[in-house]
Amino acid sequence: MDESLITYMLNIVVKTRESEYLSLGVSPRGSQMLYRAAQAMAFLEGRDYCTPEDFKPLVVSVFAHRAVVSSLYTSTLKKSEQAEQVLREIVESVPVPV
C-alpha cells in the first residue's frame, strides 16, 4: 500500500478523534481494520494495490460502531445513524491523495 494512502487513512482517523461531534474517536485497532478491509476490497476487485476508492465506502461500515456520538450532536436520527452521518462528513472533509 502506498504511503500516501496510509496517511489518508490516518488523517480520517485523526479527524474522528478531533471531531466535536464524537466523544470517542476511532482506536488504533479500528485503523488497522480499515487498512485490512481496504486490502480485501482491492483483492476482490482483482488488484494487488489499493486506491482511495477502496477506503471511502468502507469507513462508515468499519468505524460506525467504534465511534461514540457526543451529546453536542443534536439530530432526530438514531445514535447509529448519527455516527454514520458524522463519519460521512469526515470522509468528505479529508483531501484525497492524487
Distance from C-alpha of 30 to C-alpha of 39, rounded to nearest angstrom: 14
Domains recognised in the chain with CATH numbers: 3-93 (1.10.8.80)
Q: What is the DSSP letter of 97?
A: P
pLDDT in tens, 2-33: 899 999 999 999 999 998 888 888 999 999 99
Distance from C-alpha of 46 to C-alpha of 44, rounded to nearest angstrom: 5
Q: Are 13 and 66 in contact (CB under 8 A)?
A: no
pLDDT in tens, 41-93: 999 999 999 999 999 899 999 998 888 888 766 666 676 788 888 899 999 99
